[in-house]
Structure 1
Amino acid sequence: MAYSWKRNLAVLWTGVFFCSTAYSISIPFLPIFMSADLGVTDRLEIWSGIAFGITFLASALIAPYWGSLSDKYGRKPMLIRSGFSLAALYLLSYFVVDPYTFLVVRVLQGLLAGFVPASIALIATNTPEEKTGYALSVMATSGATGSIIGPLIGGVVSHYYGNRNAFLFSAAVVLIAALIGTFGAKEQNFNRSAARSHVRDDMRQAFANRTFVILLGLVALSTFSVMILEPLITVYMLEMGVDRSSASLTSGIVFSAVGIATVLMAPRWGKIGGRIGYGKVLLIGLVGSGLGNILQFFVTDFIGFGMLRFGYGLFYAAVLPAINALIVQVTEPDFRGRAFSLNQSSSQLAMMAGPIIGGLLGYLLDIQWVFVINGAALLAAALLLWFRGKGILALVSKASGPRTAASSAGRIRPMDRN
């Protein structure tokens, strides 16, 4: 069968959907699981923040190593390694009986993660240049769809069958993702004779590319602004008066509001980015989602809160796909695997810091004020792009008009940029 980038996109979309679903299944009930099943009764917000964040710290530290291996041996082997490892670790979570062992399992999940960034890198390097922005926007809907279904599954399963059984669902779902990646994904554009790079050299090459460094900073800031709320929304539902017996289900629905908005808008933002430039789309997304978060400070019932989360998601849907498309433009093809691994490291460090700081802030402040901090971080990212990212805006404006930003990617020499 001839290689088809569309078939590859469909296969990897499905794989990332299942992997994202597996991860997000545990989000709504994790604080309740630590309280009811693992015996955490004191400083639950802090424990929840650490349990969320420690996985991402481990993933951030190991990601450059996996990126170096992916550029040497291929992105598909990284899919297979990560998928089957995570399936085993989710299964192991079912048997955990104390919080310290649970933290160890969460660390291992971070060290062996990488299915989603490997899929994104594979799409970025095996899709025609003029279709890359569209393909990456479509991939964004995959993770978002998983973030819709996962919390709903997690909320329903934990509510009716118990928290532990939700981990069994996660194990089964991520195993499906691993099988899809193993038998369905194709990697064509890959130089197997290339020498494996050293992480130190990769870091030196990355930091020589100022535009790429700015994009990494934007990834970290925008991701941090989202993750700061991850350990707090279920607790916030309880503060709004939602009954504890239905808190997991209610918070699962609220979590899903952002995912629904992303599914609806991400492909549209991808098409808009092809016309006006991904830098402008990124700026619009950061400003809109920042203001949307600040408005959540004024809502005190979970229905209005869910509606505002949906509105915020409509704008945030533009952010990460635009950044991924810009990374493709400003990096050389033989550096893409490492570029997306460094992108993962930046994102994972923010994912680590966000829940921990969010847990601390939730312990010290009214949770409503965290929404203000959340929105301010996104607006700070927009200011960073406006004042320090002129090269990004100039790049996409030059590529707009008769050509899209993605279609000019082949003419860009990223190391020549200031």
Structure 2
Amino acid sequence: MKLWKKNLIVCWFGMFVTGIGMSQIAPVMPMYIKHLGIADGSSIAKLSGIAFGITFIISAIFSPIWGNAADKYGRKPMLLRASLGMAIIISLMGFAPNVYVLIGLRLLQGAITGYSTACTTLIATQTDKENAGYALGTLSTASIAGSLIGPTIGGLVGDTFGLQPVFFITGALILVAFIATLLFVKEDFVRSDKKALSSKEIWDSVPEKSLTITLSLTFFIITLALYTIEPIITVYVTQLSRDTSHVALVSGLAFSASGLANVIAAPRLGKLSDKIGAHKVILWALLIAGLIYVPQAFVKNPWQLMGLRFLLGLTFGGLNPSVNTLVKKITPNSITGRVFGFTISAGYLGIFGGSVLGGQIAGRFGISYVFFITSGLLMLNAVWVYFKVYKKLERI
């Protein structure tokens, strides 16, 4: 088996479980904060939002920093640092004596991340051009699937075993990822003796600045669109359901349906992008995803919503790998980690922004408008991609 394929398998597993680790706390957060001694419902809601969101904000700040370190010291050391650190920190959350320690640990979790950045950079720099789309497509399914399936897993583990085991089980899984990375990931990395570049020098060395900005902002819109439904999914499913005894489980399944579809579609659409061009896949996937959002506002039961979320995941399966493929193609290997760091930061901000935006839209205008406005954002992004990416690359 080729080296990039071996590394791809290990990185996929690692990114999947770290994606779970980043998101599994969402459904148990309010209950765990109550368990830690906060009784007032309003305080629980506020502290839950802080504890959930702070991880992604801090991750967005630190992702480019760890990307820089990956370019300088190698990608495998960054994988080991991030996986071991997250295994320890998430396990410690199960022993948190109060909510403020929990929030502090969530902050540290955001700071120690960097596994996704290092994995993406490792696979991007080791894979030949003919297989880049497939490899990055396969890899992109891991983080998204972990993030989307994580809330369902967290809820099921919390219901079955209790709140604290959610953290211990997740920590153990990430420790397995650390061991697998240590034993099986191989990297031929030669450290450069050149003087470290400043941020301005790094930006000056980016050959396609406008295209890089467009792709990062597109990645932001993609993740924002996926997560606008998160804060309102349980309320929406409750409105659609006659039987409310399993709302939490059905809500988790509806939210995670797009993650399952993404796992199925991303490798195939990644291969398609290798053949016809990643810019074409991005444009059509954005347009179709925008259209699929609209009927979600008119569904009559949770199963119709779940089916549309699955179709949405199929289209999103073509977006992340195509963005990553284009970033790889336009970026010199010497700064790939730093550029991917900025792209992944945009994704973290999209998760946080989507969660906040969805709740605000639903509260002010109603749940239906969450789908309409998200659809509009994707359509506008498609128009921007057409003029800034598609037309430019079609001329080359």
Same fold (TM over 0.5): yes
- CA contact under 8 A between 1:14 and 1:177: conserved in structure 2? yes
1:112 and 1:383 map into 2 onto residues whose CA distance is 36
Q: Does 1:10 align with 2:15?
A: no
In the comparison of the two structures, how many residue pairs are matched?
A: 395
Distance, in Å, in 2 between the alignment partners of 1:131 and 1:245 is 47
Contact 1:206 1:213 (8 Å CA) reproduced: no
Residue 89 of structure 2 corresponds to which residue in structure 1? 89
8 Å CA contact 2:62–2:114 kept in 1: the answer is no
Kept in 2: contact 1:45–1:360 (CA 8 A) = no
Q: State the Cα distance separating 1:204 from its structure 2 match.
A: 4.6
1:283/1:385 contact within 8 Å kept: yes
Conserved 8 A contact 1:28-1:155:
yes
Q: Which shows bigger deviation, 3-12 or 111-120?
A: 3-12
Segment drifting more, 7-16 vs 302-311:
7-16
Deviation readout 1:279-323 (Å, 9 max, x if unpaired): 010011111111112221112422211111111111111111100
Provide the C-alpha distance between the structure 2 equivalents of 1:273 and 1:282, rounded to a whole number of angstroms: 9
Q: Please provide the CA RMSD for this pair.
A: 2.6
Aligned to 2:110: 110
Q: Taking structure 1 as reference, are residues 35 and 257 closer, same or farther at Cα in structure 2, changes over 3 Å only?
A: farther
2:10–2:177 CA contact under 8 A, matched in 1: no
Aligned to 1:294: 294
CA deviation map 1:202-254 (0-9, x unaligned): 34544962111111111112222222223332343344448776343222212
Identity of matched residues, %: 33
Q: Which moved more, 1:149-158 or 1:372-381?
A: 149-158
Alignment of 1:241-320 (within 5 A): 241=241, 246-320=246-320
- Which deviations, in whole Å up to 9, do the C-alpha atoms of 1:110-169 show, x marking residues without a partner? 111111121011000111222111110111233344356534432321122223321222
**1:337 maps to what in 2?**
337
Question: How does 1:383-398 map onto structure 2 within 5 Å?
Answer: 383-390=383-390, 392-394=392-394, 398=396
Cross-structure match for 2:219? 219
Question: Does 2:19 correspond to 1:20?
Answer: yes
Q: What is the rounded CA distance, in whole Å, between the counterparts of 1:274 and 1:219 in structure 2?
A: 19
- The verdict on how the C-alpha distance between 1:148 and 1:219 changes in structure 2, with shifts beyond 3 A counting, is closer
Please say which of residues 206-215 and 86-95 is displaced more in the overlay.
Answer: 206-215
| 1:60-71 equivalent positions in 2, closer than 5 A | 60-71=60-71
SS at match of 2:175: helix
CA distance in 2 between counterparts of 1:246 and 1:39 reads 25
Q: Which amino acid aligns with 1:394?
A: E
Query: 1: distance between equivalents of 2:242 and 2:41?
Result: 19
Counterpart residue identity of residue 378, structure 2:
L
Distance in 2, matches of 1:383 and 1:80, equals 40
Sort the Cα spacing of 1:365 and 1:299 in 2 relative to 1 into closer, same or farther, 3 A.
same
State the one-letter code of the partner of 1:113.
T
Q: Give the alignment of 1:46-65 within 5 angstroms.
A: 47-65=47-65
Tell me: CA distance 1:140–1:158, structure 2 relative to 1, closer, same or farther (3 Å): same
For 1:202 and 1:315, locate their aligned partners in 2 and report how far apart those are by CA, in whole Å. 33
Offset, 1:194: 4.1
CA distance 1:178–1:333, shift in 2 (3 Å): same
| Structure-1 separation of matches of 2:299 and 2:35 | 29
Provide Cα deviations, 1:263-292, integer angstroms capped at 9, x if missing partner. 211111112112211101001111111111
Q: TM-score, normalised by structure 1?
A: 0.86
Secondary structure of the structure 2 residue equivalent to 1:169: helix
Partner SS, residue 246 of structure 2: helix
Equivalent in the alignment of 2:73: 73
Q: 2-side partners of 1:130 and 1:161: how far apart? A: 46
Q: Distance in 2 between matches of 1:255 and 1:188?
A: 39
Q: 1:21-52, CA deviations, whole angstroms, 9 ceiling, x for partnerless residues?
A: 33343344445544666545127666544433
Tell me which moved more, 200-209 or 180-189: 200-209
Residue 392 of structure 1 deviates from its aligned partner by 4.9
The amino acid that maps onto 1:378 is: L
